[in-house]
Structure 1
Amino acid sequence: MKNIIFFGFLFSCLCSYAQNQKKTIQAQVTSQSISIDGKLDEPAWENAFPASDFLMFEPDNGKLIPENRRTEVKVLYNNDAIYIGAMMYDDEPNKILKEISQRDNFGTADIFGVFINGFNDGQQNFEFFVSAADVQGDCIMTDAYGEDYSWDAVWISKAVLNEKGWAVEIKIPYAALRFSSENKQTWGINFFREIKRERKKYTWNLIDTKIGTFTQQNGLLEGIENIKPPTRLFLMPYASYYLNAADGQKTYGTIKGGMDIKYGITDAFTLDAILIPDFGQTKYDDQILNLGPFEQQFNENRAFFTEGTDLFSKGNMFYSRRIGGRPSTDPELKDNEEVTEFPQAVNLVNALKVSGRTKNGLGVGILNAVTEKTFASIKDTITGETRRVVVEPLTNYNVLVLDQRFRKNSSVTLINTNVIRNGGFRDANVTGLAWDLNTKANTYSLFGNVKYSTINDTEDKKGVYSTVTFAETSGNYRYSFGTDYVSKDFDPNDLGINFYTNYYNFYGNANYRILNPTKKFNKFSINYNMYSEFNKESGKLQDNNINANVNLTTVKNNYYGGGITFYPLEIYDYYEPRVDGRYVAIPRRIESWGSISTNYNHKFAIDLNGTFNVFDETERISYGFDIGPRYRFSDKLLLTYFFSYFRRNNNKGYIDSVDDDDNESSPNTIVFANRNVITYSNTLSGKYAVNSAITINLAVRQYWSYADNKNILELEPDGTLTPYPQFTTNKNSSFYSWNTDLSFSWWFAPGSQLSALYRNNASNFERVIDKDFRHNVAGLLNNDALKHIFSVSVKYFIDYNAVKNKVRKRA
């Protein structure tokens, strides 16, 4: 019996040791022509070495893939590209899920993926995916920022279903990767498979979920030798036509054209440049009624500023919407003057970025952009004379990043952002040092940053921001704790975004998660968080909360989550009054939330979210819910509807500031309102896929939010609010908007796209609240504010080498 136990223990240890070793696959050189058709019938595939014995990533981490679902992957290469051939066996091929979707959005479909790290430094993967519906996806993966699907490469793939399961054939040109110039290459590599109907994910080399890292658990690819990558020069010319129309206005058309360039300076570094920008087909921003003290933050929708920008994300210092955003100044008006025309955005003249990494792990990123001189129009209401005022001069934006990786799991980064405006306008500079240090076994992490900002304006300002966090990053039980310090004059907002200053804080987290499924749950985690924040000058408590939340996925792959947050003490908000040194007291409160999301594998699924918050103040509560049903009619057609409702009763907020004419030495009266704030939002989205290259998409959004002031209050010096009936100006707010996007997209060749887009949008802000919902929406759609835009754009991808080879053949 003892021998049986001993040998059982020994076998277990050997299996564990084997699973934790990096697997190795040999790439086979080929001179044959490989047709990317998903058939894997070339002789070169028969001679290549297979990668097999996939292990489950989740939910049952480390479990060997069943024989009837076995996966075999082979790798070939030549001087042009690396080729991946994969066979995903399935004994029930008729049950393979294969919804057709847009690129980078796989929907409900089985997936195969390959992860490549050309430097084998454990820091960054280039990931390429193909679904069973033959849809491509690609991204850059880092442990710090996760998967960034805004990155797009040009590569070729084909997925084909057969009687044994489904197969994938992929060609990845070296131009889509980054690697050293060594004659003998060793790359980090891993292969991925998701069986969607079972919600099970597998990888070739085990990704141990007990370890808090993903990119460092690749296997090894060997055998690539003496490759001579071609010149990496790609031209992407484009032409666009825009037809604009609005009620009561003249319809006009505009033709635009330009070119983007991508050039491989070396094997590791790439130059991207926009010669003539055209962002006319970017998505509309989802604007809201913003009653708070800070501007609304928007997502970046322009491809140049989203693709391959992982280096520029270091230290959270770069907010690309500053480039080409709203002008940085407002015009000074004289008596009897008004603004008749004010630009909502500044035109981009050109932009370029250089990024890459040396074989020693030094990453270099340089981004530079120039925006044009921009004017506002001012009119004298008495004389009728007009004048133009510069609200944004010619401006240069620059970002520099130096990121040194070491020990395959750590990095130190120097970041600098700089904005120079022509003439006597404000200039800004921010320099930061960020670090991410991990133990060799990836069990503990120390990360943080220090930033220093300098503003050159009529009054120069300098400020500091620093943060440091220590965390245990492995195992079932994990924890973290840290602190931030932000000085009063820290200001990165010319090329970054940060609103909260003049404080210090302390925070901590403890959590538990299951690493393998149980009889009831595929995933389960419980988290406990604490946070305290203090005003740096007064020492008053700005924030203090205790939070607990639970997130779980059942064995039927339905998600449930919920949490509760206690604010046990009165806190003081230094931002809502909009006056330096003033604050408003916020009473104690309890916030709660709950969420349900049913399994998307079913044709019908639904998302439900609810919140309920109670304040320690008479009748001051807030509550709301979201409901989002979705129905997949077929692998081609999907419709999703989302309705959101949120209500804040007896909300207290800033509405105005009044001069005290009787006493010039006294501060202005800060006026608040006791108000009810109600928000409705309806969103309908749909997708019809003709095939994996042609899709039609619809997105319609209606939004309405209003703040109905019940009574007016004055903010006292001690942060309390008292009645202020002498203020009679109507400061109610009602904002409603509508936008529609109907698009057609056809990827007619690798990297080349024809797109057609119809959109309309309208918005309106009023002080008089019309609570008739139907009349509100109808009025918005029928007035002169509704604008219509139809556009067609063609982008063509030109590979310099392909053109050169054709010219040689003809010669």
Structure 2
Amino acid sequence: MINKFGITLFICLSSILFSFSQTKKSVSTKKTAENISIDAELNEESWKNAEIATDFVSLEPKNGTPIPEEFKTEVKIMYSDDAIYIGAALYDPNPEKILKELVERDNIGTSDYFGVFINGYNDGQQEFRFFVTAANGQIDTNFTSSGGEDGSWNAIWESNARITDFGYVIEMKIPYAALRFPEQDKQTWGINFFREVRRERQKYTWNPIDNKIGAVSQQAGILTGIEKIKTPTRLFLIPYSSFYLSGSETQKTKGELKGGMDIKYGINDAFTLDAILVPDFGQTKFDNVILNLGPFEQQFNENRPFFTEGTDIFSKGNLLYSRRIGATPNLNLELNENERVLELPSAINLLNALKISGRDKNGLGIGFLNAVTEKTTAIAINEMTNNSREIVVSPLTNYNVTVFDQRFNQNSSVTFINTNVTRNGSFRDANVSGLLFNLNNKTNSYNLSGEIKTSSIYDEISSNGLNTSLYFADTNGKFRYTFGGNYVSKDYEINDLGINFRTNYYSFTGNTSYRILNPNKTFNTFRVNLNSYFEFYTPTNQIQASVFSTSLNSTDKKNHYYGAGINVNPFKNYDYYEPRVANRYFVNPTNVGGFFYFSSNYNYKFAIDVEPFLTHVINENRYEAGVNISPRYRFSDKFSLVYSFNYFKLKNDIGWIDFENSNIIFARRDRDTYTNSITSKFSISSEMNFNLSVRHYWSLAENNKINNLNEDGSLSTNTTYTGNRNSNFSTWNLDLSYSWWFAPGSQMSILYRNNASTFERQINKDFGSNFSNLFEDNLNHVLSVSVRYFIDYNQAKNWIRKG
């Protein structure tokens, strides 16, 4: 086995000696001194003399075939002292059939669209991608060869779209401040152009992209002709002001005014500093809270813009869970006798945060993120003496992330990352470091990746932990495979700034897949995956997780999507986490399950997603089942609505509920969960949108049989426990917002929000009464208005001069 692996590894590394050759298209540009109006007319004299990039080829589904003549696409490029201009004529034999749904920024919707991919260093590693829809919607992303597209990245640029009698026209102006390129007299950039004919689900690129090769960014064309341009001063100020009016049935209405500023500064041509002063995240999306009865915390998505925009470099090694910064405080307080909590904080305030990120011409990426949260306290009062005291819930805390990511050979990288949490006073500190590598041969057909991560906790009892992994993959062609392993020590702990649940194990994984690279008579796309995973508890070598699975994903000729899968767990698993006591475990029996997924073509006004699933525990009356149903209807290009219903049932589920003396109490329980949600939008234009988001969640867990957990992981009947540990939990969230991008980078938003939640031990299975109880003296209301204004230093300088 070792010899075979060594031979395969040798072939992979040796193939780096062979270069990947592809004839790349080239286009040249000329400088213009004209004042170009971004009106999608392309009627300036400079456009008439610009070189044309044409002869697009199919990306998917018919990879490599020429674009049909009736969808001919012609692109021209010009540049000036401060920006690059893109003009595209996109032909269509039926302009009236061009899809052009109006949606908010960074959302394509159901639209035809055109894009340009720009790599100022022409190193195949990073592209800034700019898209414009036929409805003049803007989308921008930062693409890296290792991390894919980061849609949270935003730039300030101009565009326009216009439907014509031959198709539609796109015109774009992209300032150099939105790009990165070296300080050279003559520039050579990597460039590619993209087009999707949405109704046909056909995607095309100017320079061909071979879908047998995973490296997309290395298959760009070449842009020449740009000379003697200067990297502009990239200093942007974004002051904001917000007003909040909040109240509830039990609290009187109060108002609050906030103000602050975001700063973006280009330190040089490669690196950017982002800082927030007096941050305000009051209008971020609500969290989808659930009834969590498991041993691990619920993980939430990050919705705060500062921690989502341009943070791809900080995600290396999965060591950063940014929701730790300014998290909801832990309210499990240690109270003295006769004490009760008088005042509880609702949040830990973020005082300030900054990040520096970028990549130089030699491929070295650097990321530095720092944030400080304020000291947060609760007030406890002694009911006998009436004396009160302050309890520190969270001390003044500094969070730091530092990353060095060196890319080479256009498709490989070595990364060092460190995270550090320092708390004021005697509270615990934490430090985590990681060394990662991702190696690909020149033909992008083999990949070798691995990680070595260490953690150190400094507390009353300090500890050090280790996490290491190694994976090898064939990434080319119709048949592909991956195999590797992972080891995590007992004391590996990253939860001060990251998130991890399981430790003290080693695991092995392997998967293989088959896909078609071009459509056949039945399918546009088709892929089959076979996967296996085994995880062993290190001290005993017992299996604590295992699965064999197979899945199928396909798109038919009408662009409907089908998916299905089967999961088999053929071995008993030893769960060392559910008991909540070290070295105790519960034995989970074998099970088998499956799912089916159907998603109809979203091009139609009416579409629907359906996913039923079922998992059955073998030889027991125990299962989990559910269904997701989500119909959607597009009433017009301006108005659409999506409804989602999810039902999830656990029959005779087994889990921890309590402790009694020295006993660990488990219960067999039935769980029912219902989730109803509605999302809707009405767009007046691509700059002005109304959005509605509603979610009602109801989950109950009824304990039917109480058990003691035995030392061997089995259960025995308990006849003495009398506690009520049933759960009946409901939440409601409604957001109705209006957003207006009144100038580039500048936005006014109005948000009305209400929310409510209830939790009780009494089981009430009547939906109507549970729903009404949720709103009884429990509904909170917030109305907020926020205005953010984008100021470009270069423009402001001209304002001052004119003034």
What amino acid is the match of 1:295? E
Alignment of 1:795 onto 2:797: no
Aligned to 2:15: none
Shift in Å at residue 328 of structure 1? 5.7
Q: C-alpha separation between the residues in 1 aligned to 2:719 and 2:140?
A: 60
Q: Please name the residue that 2:758 is paired with.
A: 764
Find the aligned partners of 1:700 and 1:341 in 2 and give their Cα distance: 31
Which amino acid is the alignment partner of residue 538 of structure 2?
K
Matches within 5 A, 1:94-133: 94-133=96-135
Partners in 1 of 2:343 and 2:514 — Cα distance? 56
Amino acid at match of 1:710: N
Per-residue Cα deviation, 1:138-196 (whole angstroms, up to 9, x for no partner): 11122333221111111110011111110111111111111211221111111100000
Q: 1:295-314 maps to which residues of 2 (within 5 A)?
A: 295-314=297-316
Distance 1:645 1:720 in 2: 30
Q: 1:740 to 1:532 in 2, by over 3 A?
A: same
- The reply to whether residue 334 of structure 1 matches residue 336 of structure 2 is yes
Matched, 1:776 2:778: no
Question: What is the one-letter code of the residue matched to 1:632?
Answer: R
Secondary structure in 1 aligned to 2:685?
coil
Which residues in structure 2 correspond to 1:328-367 (within 5 Å)? Answer: 330-367=332-369
In 1: Cα distance, 2:677 partner to 2:721 partner = 38
Match of residue 321 from structure 1: 323
Q: Which runs of structure 2 are paired with 1:598-747 in the superposition (5 Å)?
A: 598-659=600-661, 668-747=662-741
Letter paired with 1:172: I
Partner Cα separation in structure 1 for residue 409 and residue 610 of structure 2: 44
- The amino acid that maps onto 1:539 is N
The answer for the alignment partner of 1:6 in structure 2 is: none
Query: Deviation at 1:18?
Result: 14
Partner amino acid, structure 1, of 2:585: Y
* Helix, strand or coil at the partner of 2:781: strand
Of 573, 576, 580, 1:574 maps to 576
Distance apart, 1:133 and its partner CA: 0.5
Q: Which residue of 2 aligns with 1:227?
A: 229
1:98–1:108 Cα contact (<8 Å) kept: yes
Partner of 2:78: 76
Instruction: Please report how far the alpha carbon of residue 386 of structure 1 lies from its aligned counterpart in structure 2 after TM superposition.
Output: 2.7
- How many residues align? The count is 785
What residue in structure 2 maps to residue 521 of structure 1? 523
Instruction: Please say if 1:412 is aligned against 2:414.
Output: yes
Q: Is the 8 A contact 1:583 1:719 kept in 2?
A: yes
Which amino acid in structure 1 is aligned with residue 726 of structure 2?
A: N
Confirm or deny that 1:402 pairs with 2:404: yes
Q: Residue by residue, what CA displacement relative to the aligned partner does 1:519-560 show, whole Å, maximum 9, x if unpaired?
A: 110000000001111001111111121101111100100011
Task: Give 1:379's aligned residue.
Answer: 381
Which deviations, in whole Å up to 9, do the C-alpha atoms of 1:311-367 show, x marking residues without a partner?
Answer: 101111111101000336743111222334333421000000011111111001000
Output one character per residue of 1:473-520: Cα deviation in whole Å (capped at 9) or x when no partner. Answer: 010000000100000000011111111100000010010000000111
Q: Which residue number corresponds to residue 59 of structure 2?
A: 57
Q: In 2, Cα distance between the equivalents of 1:777 and 1:213?
A: 51
* CA distance, structure 2, for counterparts of residue 533 and residue 713 of structure 1: 27
Residue 383 of structure 1: how far off its partner (Å): 3.8
Unaligned runs of at least 5 residues, structure 1 = 1-16, 660-667
How big is the shift at 1:67? 1.0
In 2, are the aligned partners of 1:79 and 1:229 still within 8 Å (CA)?
no
Give 3-state SS (helix, strand or coil) of 1:690's partner.
strand
How far apart are 1:109 and its partner, in Å?
0.4
Instruction: Give the AA of the match of 1:611.
Output: F
Secondary structure at 1:423's aligned position in 2?
coil
RMSD over aligned Cα, in angstroms? 1.3
Structure 1 position 512 matched with structure 2 position 505:
no
The code of the aligned residue for 1:532 comes to F
Cα distance in structure 1, aligned partners of 2:596 and 2:20:
42
For 1:3, the equivalent position in structure 2 comes to none
Q: CA deviation at 1:401?
A: 0.3
SS of residue matched to 2:317: helix
SS at match of 1:121: coil
Paired with 1:610 and 1:231, the residues of 2 have a C-alpha distance of 54
Q: Deviations over 1:535-588 (max 9, x none)?
A: 011111111211011111001000110000111111111111111111100000
Contact 2:134 2:162 in 1 (8 A): yes
Contact 1:751 1:797 in 2 (8 A): yes
1:432-451 superposed matches below 5 A = 432-451=434-453
Residue 112 of structure 1, CA deviation: 0.4
Does the C-alpha gap of structure 1 residues 499 and 446 become closer, same or farther in structure 2, counting only changes over 3 Å?
A: same
Q: C-alpha distance in 2, partners of 1:618/1:409? A: 50
Q: Deviations over 1:721-764 (max 9, x none)?
A: 11112111000011100000000000000000010000000011
User: How many angstroms apart in 2 are the aligned matches of 1:290 and 1:216?
Assistant: 44
Q: Distance in 2 between matches of 1:574 and 1:326?
A: 27
Match of 1:546 in 2: 548
User: CA–CA distance in 2 between the matches of 1:336 and 1:464?
Assistant: 43
**Distance across 2 between alignment mates of 1:612 and 1:37:** 54
Equivalent residue number for residue 454 of structure 1: 456
Please tell me whether the aligned partners of residues 211 and 442 of structure 1 are also in contact (alpha carbons under 8 angstroms). yes
For 1:182, which of 181, 184, 195 is the aligned residue? 184
Q: Say whether 1:162 aligns with 2:164.
A: yes
What is residue 151 of structure 2 aligned with on the other side?
149
Cα shift at 1:286: 0.7
The answer as to whether partners of 2:546 and 2:573 remain within 8 angstroms in 1 is yes
Correspondence for 2:4: none
CA contact (8 A) 2:145 2:411 kept: no
The answer for the alignment partner of 1:663 in structure 2 is none
1:594 match: 596
d(CA) in 2 for partners of 1:237, 1:80:
24
Contact between 2:295 and 2:580, CA under 8 Å: does it hold in 1? yes
1:431 is aligned to 2:424: no
Counterpart among 474, 487, 490 of residue 489 in structure 2: 487
1:13 corresponds in structure 2 to none
Please name the residue that 2:16 is paired with: none
Q: Secondary structure at the match of 1:508?
A: strand
8 A contact 1:240–1:256 mirrored in 2: yes
CA distance in 1, matches of 2:365, 2:128: 15
Q: TM-score, normalised by structure 2?
A: 0.96
User: Which consecutive residues of structure 2, in runs of 5 or more, have no partner in the other structure?
Assistant: 1-18
Q: Which residue identity does 1:686 align to in structure 2?
A: S
Identical columns (%): 57
Give the Cα separation in 2 of the matches to 1:787 and 1:507. Answer: 47
Aligned to 2:6: none
8 Å Cα contact 2:482/2:510 also seen in 1: yes
Using the TM superposition, name which of 211-220 and 293-302 deviates more. 211-220
Distance in 1 (alpha carbons) for counterparts of 2:276 and 2:268: 20
Q: Does 1:558 align with 2:566?
A: no
Paired residue secondary structure (1:301): coil
Instruction: Give the CA deviation at 1:19.
Output: 11
Contact 1:590 1:614 in 2 (8 A): yes
Report the Cα distance in structure 1 between the residues aligned to 2:422 and 2:169, rounded to whole angstroms. 53
Give the Å deviation of 1:384. 4.0
TM-score, scaled to structure 1: 0.96
* Cα shift readout 1:672-705 (whole Å, capped 9, x = no counterpart): 1100011000001110000110000001100001
Where 2:52 maps in the other structure, the secondary structure is coil
Say whether the 8 Å CA contact 1:19–1:206 is kept in structure 2.
no
Shift of 1:617: 4.1
Q: Is the Cα–Cα contact under 8 Å of residues 183 and 231 in structure 2 kept in the other structure?
A: no
Partners of 1:592 and 1:161 in 2: how far apart? 46
After superposing on structure 2, the runs of 4+ consecutive aligned residues of structure 1 that deviate more than 6 Å are none
